[in-house]
Structure 1
């Protein structure tokens, strides 16, 4: 039960990945939003398997590099946010609602990479790994699967909410503002990690 609640809270945290999933559902439809959600949940599964299997080793490794991980992750978020702004204004595509984002082309892969690079994910999993690795007789793969399913269910709800909100964002100028605000939100999260 503790693992399922951890997976739910992991998925519910409103950060750059949730903003990305919502944005892609609005811009590209539920399918792309769902693929973004699957990418995020798969990254959570990857971290779960790694941290639960090699928890104590990973924690000591992360502690040795905690100064560089947030910087690199923050730079990735900032670059991605800038890329979102660039693609929003590229070729005056903001005059029509449509599929123009990087994640519309590669939703699963892009979101997986961004989730893997998210410093919050790294820190949260290293903390939870310490709790789980302290428990004896715990099945790593069952815990990882529970986290994946909990995270995926939340990501799908976010994608569904975005696809239902797409009617609200049917005006191109509204979509333009939402895309820019979403991108700026991701950039702000990245910048805040630097400081």
Structure 2
């Protein structure tokens, strides 16, 4: 007998995949990192992104989103998020000239501020306003589908699973680019993604 997938988990997986189609800065970072440093480096960013997404969903479940919705706090988060995105973007552009804006500070024995995993944590966490989004999504599921706490957890797990599946595919795609594209093109990809991150940082302030 074929095991059935829980409907709430499946709904979360479908919803999460739809969200992933709106490709964001983390996906671009994974594509770029995998193309320049290999699949495992891109995979580190994916793991970091999944962890931060899980944390944001947990915080929204605990009601933290209500605090972040306060106007002054919301503006503060927007400014900090914009600065972080733009900093990452400028760092990628300047890396073409072998200049780094992000210092190589040792955090643990094998982790530095420029390691893919730490970069993934910082970039994914750069927009805490995501907590508000997840808070509204979880509330919607409770109201429309009358989800229990268990069903809500399964829905959230499906969303995180979608992040893992999609970003792993992006890491594989980046690795393929590394195998087929010349080094000069990969460096230009760095600049393109850097400019894109700067644009997203500026756009965040205007939204």
**TM-score normalised according to structure 2 size:** 0.77
- Asked whether the equivalents of residues 12 and 159 of structure 2 are also in contact (C-alpha less than 8 Å), the reply is yes
Q: Which residue of 1 aligns with 2:78?
A: 70
Alpha-carbon deviation of 1:29?
0.7
Unmatched 5+ residue regions in structure 1?
92-101
Q: Which residue of 2 aligns with 1:58?
A: 64
What CA deviation, in whole Å up to 9, does each residue of 1:53-108 have, x standing for no partner? x1xx32321210322222211111001111122223117xxxxxxxxxx9995212
Please give the alpha-carbon distance, in whole angstroms, between the structure 1 residues aligned to 2:35 and 2:131.
28
Please give the alpha-carbon distance, in whole angstroms, between the structure 2 residues aligned to 1:50 and 1:114.
18
Please give the alpha-carbon distance, in whole angstroms, between the structure 2 residues aligned to 1:105 and 1:59.
30
Unmatched 5+ residue regions in structure 2?
1-9, 100-110
Please give the alpha-carbon distance, in whole angstroms, between the structure 2 residues aligned to 1:178 and 1:104.
22
Superposed CA RMSD = 2.4
Q: Which residue of 2 aligns with 1:178?
A: 189
- Asked whether the equivalents of residues 65 and 131 of structure 2 are also in contact (C-alpha less than 8 Å), the reply is no
What CA deviation, in whole Å up to 9, does each residue of 1:101-159 have, x standing for no partner? x9995212211221111367344323313224544423254333222212100010011
2:32 counterpart of 1:23: yes
Report the CA distance shift for 1:132/1:68 in structure 2 as closer, same or farther (over 3 A).
Answer: farther
Please give the alpha-carbon distance, in whole angstroms, between the structure 2 residues aligned to 1:8 and 1:124.
16
Alignment of 1:154-173 (within 5 A): 154-170=166-182, 172-173=183-184
Please give the alpha-carbon distance, in whole angstroms, between the structure 2 residues aligned to 1:191 and 1:184.
11
- Asked whether the equivalents of residues 115 and 121 of structure 1 are also in contact (C-alpha less than 8 Å), the reply is no
Q: Where do 4+ consecutive residues of structure 1 move more than 4 Å?
A: 102-105
| Larger of the two Rg values belongs to structure | 2
- Asked whether the equivalents of residues 28 and 193 of structure 2 are also in contact (C-alpha less than 8 Å), the reply is yes
Report the CA distance shift for 1:70/1:9 in structure 2 as closer, same or farther (over 3 A).
Answer: farther
- Asked whether the equivalents of residues 81 and 187 of structure 1 are also in contact (C-alpha less than 8 Å), the reply is yes
Report the CA distance shift for 1:182/1:4 in structure 2 as closer, same or farther (over 3 A).
Answer: same
Q: Which residue of 1 aligns with 2:162?
A: 150
- Greater fraction of residues in helix: 1
Q: Which residue of 1 aligns with 2:138?
A: 129
Q: Which residue of 2 aligns with 1:187?
A: 198
Q: Count how many residue pairs are aligned between Structure 1 and Structure 2.
A: 181
